[in-house]
Structure 1
Amino acid sequence: MKDLLDGYPVITQIPVAWGEMDALNHVNNVVYFRYFETARLEYFSHIGMMEELARTQVGPVLSETSCRYKLPITYPDTLHVGSRVVEMQDDRIIMEYAIYSEKLGAISTIGTAKGVMFDFKKNRKAGVSESVKQHIIALQPELAEDLNAVQ
């Protein structure tokens, strides 16, 4: 597993619940977006995003998401969802996810999400704060050059 999720600094473990299965005996397609959400929030926890949102009322809103299903997941299983930032622009963060299935011993699903920073007090887009950028660089030093180019 470690090799397959290499490059993902945050890995979230999620047990598959019986209720996530659909009539075709595999995890329903919409559930994967919940898995991505759980992983995204754990990544945000690592970079202090939620604390900053509480303090400044500026945080990301999901503007786009995608999912590529490679292998069906079934109950019981334990998933490991890798998350990372792959691109940052002045006002948005693009993340990537990979779901590793313990039962299958393989990556079952990959996904992306674009979060646009939003100022909830002023009701308009906002920029990615310097603090968030620096926390991302601390977690993913390989992004330092790309993030500095955005500034």
Structure 2
Amino acid sequence: MSNLLEGYPVITEIPVAWGEMDALNHVNNVVYFRYFETARLDYFADIGLMEEMQETQTGPVLSETSSRYRRPVTYPDKLLVGSRVSELAEDSFVMEYKIVSKQQGAVTTTGTAKVVMFNFKTQKRASLSESLLEKIVSMQPELGDVVATTD
């Protein structure tokens, strides 16, 4: 199953809860956005984004998000959610998610989210710090060329 999440530097394991099921006996579509959020916060923790936000008052704001449902997920199951940055700009980045069902051994869902950096003091968009850029590139070296073009 690890080959299904190749290229995703952060993997989050999430157990499916009985209460996430809908009347059609599968995980409700809105729940996947919570799964993405959990994976996104794990990625942010790995790059120290939330700690930096405490110091600088500049942090992430979700601009848009989407999901593509490929296979239904049912209880009981454990999901592996891979997260990575797929696009990097001076003041924003796009994250990609891939959800793999341990029970099915298959990809069930994919998604994206655009995250914009925002200065909560000035109420304006802000640039990603050099520190965050370096941490993202250290986890995903293939983004190094993209960062160089954003200076």
Q: Tell whether the structures are fold-level matches, with TM greater than 0.5.
A: yes
RMSD: 0.6
* Count of aligned positions: 151
Q: TM-score, normalised by structure 2?
A: 0.99
Q: Which runs of 5+ in 1 are unaligned?
A: none
Unaligned runs of 5+ in 2: none
- 1:108 alignment partner in structure 2: 108
Provide TM-score, normalisation by structure 1.
0.99
Secondary structure, aligned partner of 2:97: strand
Stretches (4+) displaced over 4 A: none
Identity of aligned residues (%): 63
Letter in 2 for 1:21: M
Secondary structure in 1 aligned to 2:100? strand
Q: Match of 1:67?
A: 67
The CA deviation string for residues 48-70 of structure 1, in whole angstroms up to 9 with x for no partner, is: 00000011010110000000000
Q: Distance in 2 between matches of 1:53 and 1:62?
A: 15
Report what 1:120 is aligned to.
120
Q: Is 2:30 the counterpart of 1:30? A: yes
Tell me how far apart the structure 1 counterparts of residues 98 and 107 of structure 2 sit (CA, whole Å): 7
Mapped to 2, the partners of 1:10 and 1:149 lie a distance apart of 25
Deviation readout 1:34-86 (Å, 9 max, x if unpaired): 00000000000000000000110101100000000000000000000000000
